[in-house]
Chain A
Amino acid sequence: MPESNITPLIQLKRIGKSFPGVRALDEVSFDVAPGELHAICGENGAGKSTLMKILSGVITRYEGDLVIDGDKVSFTSTRDAEVAGISIIHQELNLVEQLSVSANIFMGRELQDHFGFRKDRLMNAQAKELLSSLECTIAPTTLAGSLRVGDQQLIEIAKALSLQSRILIMDEPTSALTESEVARLYRVIEKLRSNGTTILYISHKMDEVFHLSNRITVLRDGQFIKTLETASTSPKEITHLMVGRPLEQADSELEIEGSQNADQMQNREVVLRVESLSLAWPGHARGYRLKDISFDLHRGEILGIAGLMGAGRTELLESLFGATSIAPTGRITLDGQTIAPRHPSEACRAGLALVTEDRKRLGLLAKMNVGRNITICSLEKATTGWFLSPSRETTLASAMVTKLLVKTDSLRTPITTLSGGNQQKCIVARWLLTNPKVLLLDDPTRGVDVGAKAELYRLIRSLCKEGLSVIVTSSELPELLTLSDRIVVLSEGRQTAIFQRSEATQPKIMSALT
């Protein structure tokens, strides 16, 4: 579709942007042809999101020129970008949850009559029409906050459609979607393209990028690397360009090691036994978040938990960790002793540790430095008398930094300046200092780039060799298949299957998921 003689719709000319201490973008230049689906790939911190914020008018001060339809533009707000026909669907959805679907779609452009009254009925009717064109049957009067993430994303797309945008930016749109919702999104994208909409698609998932795009632009460390025709490249080449070096065959090594491991596992002692664990869900039609979950975890074993969004993965880990607002029922036995933690501190004392799913919101202490993030759970080991001893605290933290190979300038570096993978290592370090018997990892590689993922896998595996038992959840099945010795499958709060590593395959798990 993109021909060289067509004038480009968007031209980026030597775009640069600095934040205090970081050069987020440096002389990035490339073109986007009208009507194409242009994928932007890069690891975390490569500058994808910054670039899209400049395009959509969120960031208004930058170096270089942004040219649209041959004219240089300088947006002073997102409104300017919308007028120019650009809208963006952010990774974090920007809906007002307390307002209805149609109020969200028409936000900032509400229709009104001559007396200044809102025309709610007209807006609802138009919203309904837009939604039905997206295969969506939600009533426009539903509150946005009550919708599933997949549906919320469609609302954002409907909003973009109602603006009649010519250029649509999608930032990691499938990160929270189920299989069927992804399929629906693909159909919507096809429809948009047939209407001539140009789409900029940010993703790190190679299968999506290669399924959808015409061209792929790779960014690395804020710099433009290359734009390639999708038809003439391969996922391997793109990954290589993103990381800047060929990826080691780390995953397959692990797999071999893992499968040897799995056979011996059944003979080992049981560390954690969960018997008919249930968690009520008052006020919901289903009535439960979890129902009759039972499994054993052996010493040194990695147990994977598979499930779609809302299947109860996080709730299962939180129930074990005493972090649910209502108490779960059933029996949890740790090293032969029944435990019923009602507060994370009790679970912690019993020998459990939880690395939470949403690192930024539930894990990081963003205002503290690396060292303090690591020692926060084990400060009682760093005291002399009543007082904290800075030297003992440093010893504790630096031992962990060395053991887990955390890349940081010093222990006093602010945690937020570290990459996602290194932040995650700090959180794992925080818990290893408490000497846990069982480590619960909730989607540990979320927001972690390709290179760092393999390193985390290797780390988890080596911890298990030392005798730690791990329960890990993931939104990506290949990851679970790589890591786990056994996989428990959850579907809508129920346990639908347990697979041994040798018998677990993607299709088998998929059928148990739904």
Chain B
Amino acid sequence: MFGDSKLLKSISSVLSIRGNELSLVFAIIAIIGTTIALDSSRSYIEYPGTSAIDVLRNASLLTIFALGASVIIISGGIDLSAGSMIAFSGTVIACSMLGLQSLGTPESPTAPWIVISGGICAGLLAGFLVGSLHAWLIISVGLPPFVATLATLVGLRSLARILGESTTSVLLSAKKSQIPIEQPFYTDFLRENVWIWIATAVLLAIFTAVLLGYTILGRHLYAMGGNEQAALLSGLRTDRLKWFAYVFGSMTASLAAVFYLANEGVSAPVTQAVGHELNGIAAAVVGGCSLQGGIGTVSGTLLGALFLRTVIDAVAKIIKTGADVWQGIIVGVVVVLAVTLSQYRSSRAAGRKLFAGPLGLLAIVILASLTGFLVATTSGATVGFSAFTLLAALMLGYRSFESYR
């Protein structure tokens, strides 16, 4: 959408980023500007540090497992299980910590560093094992990645609950599915030092970028994602490549769980990180990864994650309700908009029309009603109705413009 101007083209060539990524940078700036303009409590101006840290912390968490999602998508697969993987790893970490704590006695408790590092290692090991299971299901059993990871998406959450309940009934003699973390050093340290979140995300991003851009493995992942049969017949070990991609994906989710758990202070397998897998995939897709495989960049995914979190935060600031309420609809709308805009020129050139036929009319009714409803819930029925009328009129106008083009 910004790609036409010569100035922008020269800027993007200097910074060696692609048009899509430049658009994302501008979009992020635009959203921050809008929030400053519309936020009545002026939190971006009054507390710039706190606001930035809040957004960056959430964006770092999202980035960590969005990088995993990107590697899998680039290699031509998909992983739907990241959210459940976070919850499962969180439970594994909590249970391991509980177990290591119970080894000590009140007089000589287990050293905190043993408990914490043991818990984190167990969590990452869980990611390694689940990722390998995905790879086996896909390579040897021959399941489509969608099916294999859909199974673990539902399965892991339930398994986490069973694990939590059985561990607590043995160690605490009380069956609980939520396990509180009693390691203040771990929880408080990570809560207070947000730079660790950001540093972890940045280091992982650099690692992934080097891996994809400057190693044989990375090139082979792109090749397999672009054309798996050709890659196989070129002598690439596609089975090993897939194994790597899925293990990497699950382990990044486990790493995210380390931070997620510290922030929450309790493992709650039923409610934690629900739907996060789709946020990760959305960040990757908004950042330019092709779900057909073979295309995508780390910088795009970083910007995609930052963009998503900025939008979510902006809406929370402007509307003043919890960000979690709006998160789903925002991610949904943003993904559709981002992909629509990035394809806009090519689909126009192919003669595709947005609102053609009765389906187009129906879509106008749906989109205008949706917007009207959302506006009405925040600003009252009258404003909502005007929004509905205005948007419907605009889209009808575009529709007739389209049909005469």
Binding site for B on A (CB under 8 A): 20, 60-61, 321, 323, 343-345, 347-349, 354, 356, 361-368, 372, 376-377, 379-380, 383, 386-388, 430, 434
Tell whether, in the assembled complex, residue B351 and residue A61 are in contact, meaning their CB atoms are under 8 Å apart: yes
The verdict on A387 contacting B215 (CB below 8 Å), with A363-B230, A365-B226, A368-B226 known, is: yes
Determine the chain B residues whose CB is within 8 A of the CB of A343 once the complex forms: 235, 237
Is B229 at the interface (CB under 8 A from chain A)? yes
What's the least CB distance linking A64 to chain B, in Å? Answer: 16
Report whether A365 and B227 are in contact in the complex, using a CB–CB cutoff of 8 Å.
yes
Expressed in whole angstroms, the Cα–Cα distance for A363 and B236 within the complex equals 12
Contact B222 A368 (CB under 8 A): yes
A345 touches B235 (CB 8 A): yes
Q: How big is the B interface, by class?
A: 20 to 34
B361 within 8 A of A: no
Q: Is the CB of B216 within 8 A of A380?
A: yes
Interface centre among A343, A368, A376, A387 (most CB of B within 10 A): A376
Docked pose: A462 CA to B214 CA in angstroms? 35
In the bound assembly, the distance between CA atoms of A376 and B351 in angstroms comes to 36
Give bound CA distance, A405 to B271, whole Å. 61
Question: Is B130 interfacial (CB 8 A cutoff)?
Answer: no
Min CB distance B291 to A, Å, is: 13
- List B contacts of A347 (CB < 8 A): 235
Tell me which residues across on chain A come within 8 A of B231, comparing CB atoms.
365, 376
Knowing A343-B237, A362-B233 are in contact, say whether A367-B294 is a contact too (CB < 8 A). yes
CB pair B229–A361 under 8 Å, yes or no, is yes
Can you list the 8 inter-chain pairs with the closest CB atoms, starting with the nearest? A348-B235, A367-B226, A345-B235, A367-B294, A379-B216, A387-B214, A61-B351, A344-B235
Contacts of B223 in A (CB 8 A): 365, 368, 372, 376
The answer to whether A377 touches B235 (Cβ under 8 A) is: yes
Task: A20-B346, A344-B236, A356-B233 are known; give 14 further A-B pairs, CB within 8 A.
Answer: A356-B230, A364-B227, A365-B227, A365-B230, A365-B294, A366-B227, A367-B226, A367-B295, A368-B294, A376-B220, A379-B220, A387-B215, A388-B216, A430-B234
Interface presence of B337 (CB below 8 A): no
- Identify the B interface with A (CB < 8 A): 210, 214-216, 219-220, 222-223, 225-227, 229-237, 294-295, 346, 349, 351
Are A60 and B227 in contact, CB atoms less than 8 angstroms apart?
no
Chain B residues within 8 Å of A363, by CB: 230, 233
A342 to B225, CA, bound (A): 22
Alpha-carbon distance between A343 and B227 when the two chains are bound, in angstroms: 17
With A367-B222, A367-B294, A376-B234 already in contact, the answer to whether A388 and B214 are too (CB < 8 A) is: yes
Chain A residue numbers with a CB within 8 Å of B222 are 367-368
Question: From DSSP, what is the main secondary structure of chain B's interface residues?
Answer: helix
Contact residues in B for A434 (Cβ distance below 8 Å): 235
Q: A368 CB to closest chain B CB, in angstroms?
A: 6
Residue among A347, A349, A377, A380 with the most chain B CB within 10 A?
A377
Q: How far is the CA of A383 from the CA of B295 in the complex (A)?
A: 23
Contact B351 A60 (CB under 8 A): yes
Bound Cα distance A193, B269 (Å):
72
Query: Given that A345-B237, A368-B223, A379-B216 are contacting pairs, would A361 and B230 also be in contact in the complex, using a CB cutoff of 8 Å?
Result: yes
B residues less than 8 Å from A430 (CB atoms): 234
Closest B residue to A379 by beta carbon equals B216
Residues in B neighbouring A376, C-beta threshold 8 A? 219-220, 223, 231, 234, 236
Interchain nearest-CB distance for A20 vs B (Å): 7
Pick from B210, B214, B227, B234: contact of A377, CB below 8 A.
B234
Q: Identify which of B226, B232, B351 contacts A344 (C-beta below 8 A).
A: B232
The verdict on A362 contacting B230 (CB below 8 Å), with A345-B237, A377-B235, A388-B214 known, is yes
CA distance A322 to B142 in the complex (A): 19
Task: Name the residue on B nearest A382 (C-beta).
Answer: B216
Residues of chain B contacted by A383 (CB below 8 angstroms): 216
Contact between B215 and A388 (Cβ–Cβ < 8 Å)? yes
Residues in B whose Cβ lies below 8 Å from that of A345? 235-237
Residues of A within 8 A of B219 (CB): 372, 376, 379, 388
Is A323's CB under 8 angstroms from B234's CB? no
- Distance of A289 Cα from B226 Cα, bound (Å): 30
Q: Is B233 within 8 A of A354, CB to CB?
A: yes
Chain A residues with Cβ below 8 Å from B230 are: 356, 361-365
Interface centre among B214, B234, B237 (most CB of A within 10 A): B234
23 residue pairs from A and B, CB less than 8 Å apart: A20-B346, A20-B349, A60-B351, A323-B232, A343-B237, A344-B232, A345-B235, A348-B234, A361-B227, A363-B233, A365-B226, A365-B231, A368-B223, A372-B223, A376-B219, A376-B234, A379-B216, A379-B219, A383-B216, A386-B215, A387-B214, A387-B215, A430-B234
The closest CB in chain B to the CB of A323 belongs to: B233
Determine the chain B residues whose CB is within 8 A of the CB of A380 once the complex forms: 216
The residue in A348, A364, A365 that gathers the most chain B C-beta atoms within 10 A of its C-beta is: A365
The complex places the Cα of A60 from the Cα of B351 at a distance, in Å, of 8
Chain A residues with Cβ below 8 Å from B295 are 367
B349 contact set on A, CB distance < 8 A: 20
Cα distance, A366 to B234, chains bound together (Å): 14
* Complex CA–CA separation, A131 to B233 (angstroms): 39
